[in-house]
Structure 1
């Protein structure tokens, strides 16, 4: 793959063509009847008290106040009025959520209905809903109990459904199949049957969830100490009988991953006519439970509606698709015309690119950055890499006498087209990233061919400096090391799954893990990072003329594919984990091994895993043995040779948060086989690459030696190869 595409200035006609093309592509991916499906829609951008007498029904302690649904009383004046309360708000209109189907042989039965008939004999309605919540803990006290999105059989609520019953059931009714109730709960208080005090759960006739997930690993606190609005998306597919729940801070896009998903057959649990709404409760602990906005779309299965409009889907597709196809051709012509135009090194084009970037990072004047760094004084140099040098700088703050420390990255390839591309790559990715464990971009500067990026200054340098910087650096305690690894995992999960574009870092290593004043991890240096298409899983690298990254952190498959993937980022993360726990570099000579992971694997096999701990920690006895084992096993799991076997970042976050057990790791390092037997991300490969890759097969085996076990590499012809780069 060549240099990245320039940012194009498309005409309004081209933009319209692109939009029409997108519409066509979306249409072509819809199910056969989706384009013409009939649905019932309700939308409440906010709530007015008049709704209580028309569209909404308030039950018990619920009301409307300050433009929001207050599911439990909303007051700070009387604690007595907040405890042991429960309430519901329901749409006054009931919905037909399933219907019995005729036998599959009936001529009028659709394929979808025939499938449904074979799975309970019902057509179950699909729905999706989006709502925003604010759960406020009064005086920063312990929150309790929680709220829920509910589908209920009637416009009423059982008595004494406060405390842990969340306004859903009570001590008498809990678990009764005649409740005909389904709910997605957002629980903030741990009862004996709950996993923790911050989770999402799927409830069926019972407040003990059939499926649940802690939200802490996702960086979400339902009732944080600082009031936060969240948006929640719930999607239900009646055909597949499956539900997905998504959650993010309000204003952020819908995540690509769900916080909870589960099989769910609404037709087996709900009455045919049911109501949508919300419930909440408080107990001896209390909180304010507010719904700020709500939209709901439900497939219409009401009497006389067969789920489709009078216009066949194929006619709908033709009517929209033909002009869209023509627009697509026009859009492609414009695109390739613009693509073939030489960009050159015109500085004005670069400035136009910079000024058109989303997020609009601050533009600095070159003179102020030159002054801030004392003319890029060597004494202020913080580090140097393949893409440039980084200097400490001091800028004036907004208030009189205020000084702000920053890190200024000066690109070393500034006089080349490649330098501009590197600059744009890094700036276009990081300027929109927002995460507490990423180094924050402050701004940029371009002057007379000099390219500069300005970041927050990290006063404690890098993890690498503290692990290997010598006696002049204070020893990193075990607690700090564990928290640093947790922070890096959280940042990597954000890049891979939570950001609206999937980002592959490609150069994750200890020297790129920065430490702020409180020794919190901040992942930085996005010079090699690349965003990948939302429907892809890898990024094909060509412009650097080799495998990007640093030896010891590079996954073995990268030497064959030249591609970076989320799985290769996880491999590098595993190297950082082992490095941090052991106090040794990923590629080092230890007990006859050249790679740290191989030595740790030997200790694990010999049941001497704790011998791998950094001797400085072991001497001070400053570690928790169970957590050491947890991280070392995680590091080995991330180092597995087969990409598909490595844990995903969501699992990694859960392991580190101690919400799930450490991963199971085989006592012997599995052989590296290429192509891998399991599924390998191949979407990012260029044309012809997949067939080229199948011509090379390398396996690894282990032979006993004086040092324990020595890897050897055998090609398909049986010749022993000596390359240690494949370990």
Structure 2
């Protein structure tokens, strides 16, 4: 989940010229709305691979919670220097915003939201504490309020002797308890608690070889999956780094609609005892909740999903359109004023003809005849910069592809035309579409390329056996692997082998074309740009918007306004997952997931990553290769740019010369910047820090 700080946004705007500030704000809001439309269509997610001081605004720390230290949420006090300070404490850490968990439907029934959460804990036993206690719990609470008074010890920060068992508590928790009370089955157990610390369902952890707080610190991964339709909750637990087990440690029937408020909060609670104490630490946390928005068509789940995405998307489009129109109007006025003042207007033909090694200049009449006057029947495709037609050069007996740029009143399309021509004219690689020539006649801008008889990659992935004409077979595994290898080779050439680094900025399956032998040819350089000599790592993006296609755009591009090698690699990672899974990077049509990468990462977390392979292949693929490619796709899709592999490494991983990359089991978060809830506040908490080496060891494995 991405969090946006209103304070940071304000500071960013203050550095912009006043004329552009409003436009940048509109575009920023457009990007936010576009992302929001994707999230609102299915679910709401948050993800924290670790915690820092910047995350304080995301949580309410109450009572004895120890804040954030050593990359972890300290649910009870932190530190081991003052042991008596750890005795008899209780605390809660609650995410700042509520989630809608149920809604009324016809006939008095309730629709219950499903959710999945995974988190990592370390319940640390100090060396001078032979018996740890009391435990930690995942909590659904009615508000962000403090735990009740006298809720330490066995009450785990959930209830107290007066409130325990009262339906008005409106809490549900999954406890991980390591002290046996009279009502507990054993010391180390997991329990489902409804308004009480006396668990409705319990399960011992010793049969699974789990000791919550052993003498030698161990980090545990926990998965809690709740099915709102079946009213079932399942809990899995394993040592950190191991995949999600096939069998849960506990499963139970649970109707959240009966026990929690419609709008409830998620978080954690924990406690220590009078003679027993421990450090209750949450090291990482992911949460995805089915989005039940008010006002949707309750009679049609599909309708409310489409409606949310369409509404937010429409607002986003309107904002973006207004922003682009305003920027172009201002830019056009400035350019005209500058030209009138200097008398030095750009002459397109002269510039093109003076380019060294310039491709052939075609006559307009020749290309018009080749495309049958740009007949719709000759159209091969259409993109943001124009239309591509098939052309038959009869005198030469050659088929070509002719790209006709969109004509506009200003010089924008001529700028795009020159950018593409200037870049691709100098590029020579077997996996790039070859430029044959160009034409500029009375404002009509044309580029001529080699014709790719097998069209674009996306057409083969998604038309497949269901093509209306029935003559396009399913793309087999060996060709998929071959295509990815060719596209990676082209990317490596652009980034590293050409004498200047070229950032493509629009890598996607529809821009990977296929020749007669199904060799990949990367095309459409309308967004490509050469890095400035003074900038070896990035280029500034056009302020008129973030170029590219949703699902392929790296998350940092929405905030840094930079295009980099790393953002190209992110887009390539989306293509890798797309090719292996046979699914588009967005609009995956999988419940709870709007983006393909999130679904694949979830399967990886559960140790079922091969379930992502295109089912239409019916097992006709190389298992080792498929696993390696899926891990490569996740590595390239890492939310943090610096964690993505380089193009040169991608080639070696594709070929098997390098092993599959190491990918964390849970998708790391991209937080830009840390959220500060609007109108929110931070609870000031005291935290005891220690410099002892013993204290620093508890989450080294993290």
TM-score, length of structure 2 as denominator length: 0.47
